[in-house]
């Protein structure tokens, strides 16, 4: 997902908390995770990837 695409989603819900949902391959049901202290971890300029990290709630 490009930053401008994420920005559009975030702008629609400025007062909401965001959580991350994923499927780990072992279950057909998604896992939902929440993170505190989200921050920029790394910027890969060569492959244009931004990595975020945080503490899981």
> How many domains does the structure of the chain reveal?
1
Q: Which of 30-36's residues contact partners 24+ apart within 8 Å by CB, and which partners?
A: 33/57
* Cβ–Cβ under 8 Å, residues 19 and 32: yes
Quote the pLDDT of residue 11.
Answer: 95
Residue 33 tokens read as 């995770």
Q: Which domain holds residue 25?
A: 3-56
* Res 8: pLDDT: 95
pLDDT, one tens digit per residue, over 1-57 is 899 999 999 999 999 988 777 777 777 788 877 888 888 999 999 999 999 998 888
Q: Position of tokens 């991350």? A: 20
């Amino acid at each position: 997902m490009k930053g401008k695409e994420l920005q559009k989603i975030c702008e629609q819900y400025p007062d909401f908390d965001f959580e991350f949902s994923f499927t780990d391959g072992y279950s057909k049901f998604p896992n939902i995770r929440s993170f505190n202290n989200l921050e920029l971890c790394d910027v890969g300029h060569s492959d244009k990837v931004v990595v975020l990290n945080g503490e899981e709630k």
